[in-house]
Amino acid sequence: MADRPAALFALGAQHLPDLYPARSMHRLQQLVRVDQTVVAERFDTGEIRTALASTEFLITGWGCPPITAAVLDAAPRLRAVLHTAGSVKALLSPACWERGLAITSAAAANAVPVAEYTLAAILFAGKNVFRLRDRYHASRHFTLAEVQSGVGNYGRTVGVIGASRIGRRVIELLRPFDVEVSLFDPYVDAATAAELGVRQVDLDTLLRTSDVVSVHAPANPRTDRLVGAEQLALMRDGATLINTARGSLVDTAALIEHLEAGRLYAVLDVTEPEPLSAGSALWELPNAFLTPHIAGSHGNELARMGDCVIDELERFLAGRPFAHAIVASDLDRVA
């Protein structure tokens, strides 16, 4: 169909088959003219600059170079950027907003596996799985029907820092469980907190009263070391800190002190620095559970992000607004 608008992929070419497997690619090509063999990993080649001249939709992802004013000058027909990943902060220049482009991302789709990871970590923390697993591994024995004190999720309080897409999804996933959820987010009003079904508290109260604290705030200068030495000192003995957001939100050195004292547990999918240095104390601490930034989309989860972008494109072409539209004022408020 010659009347289909032109689109161009701009991302690391190695990601394309996972983000847009055959089924998704076929669906996408019913909507736009897009050549899966032409992928912009840089914008300054002759082939890509020729393609940009007719491009109406830029389909981006990990590995996309920054979309600068010069790129926009080469793409006079560009109407929208659809990002097949999460944050667009490092991707878009101010010129994109000045041009009035429609912007969307698959951050909502990427939030799903992060929230699932977080839910698993919360439930495992409540069952004290990490300590009991190590004890069982060391002793190679346990006593049948022995009741483990201090174990269980019934009546636990989970503190969520940040009502981001991921934070809200975590809150949603926790609803079937017998836990109380507290929320700290300075951008959330009382009405929204009531809709979410959470108890709205300040950060200090959340830290003092929660058995598990899960971090879902965005990384920006205001949230750097949001959970610092003073905040960690407020947490209950035996409480667990989960971080799937960014390492910069937690004071790593202060956290190590509390872990070395045996006072807290931590589940860390992100750290600062990332990856950790080989000599970091976190490697050897039994109460620190580390994973290599795997909470977000991997493997077959990548196709969910591609499908999300295709859904957004269908909406746009039907004359409806993006379901996950991004405006410049959102960039420091979402994670």
Antiparallel, parallel or unpaired: β 80-83 and 102-105:
parallel
Q: Which residues contact 324 (CB under 8 A, 6 or more apart)?
A: 104, 105, 106, 107, 108, 308, 312
Identified catalytic residue from 99, 133, 236, 293: 293
How far apart (Å, rounded) are the C-alpha atoms in residues 270 and 322? Answer: 30
| The token pair that represents 74 in the structure block | 């080469």
| The token pair that represents 133 in the structure block | 């697993």
Identified catalytic residue from 15, 156, 246, 258: 246
**Sole residue written with tokens 């039907």:** 318
Q: Rounded to the nearest 10 degrees, how much is the dihedral formed by the CA atoms of 226, 188, 97, 27?
A: 100
Residue 293 a catalytic site member: yes
The total of other beta-carbon atoms located within 10 Å of residue 271's CB is 23
CA nearest 251: which of 278, 220, 272, 282? 272
* Catalytic residue list: 246, 274, 293
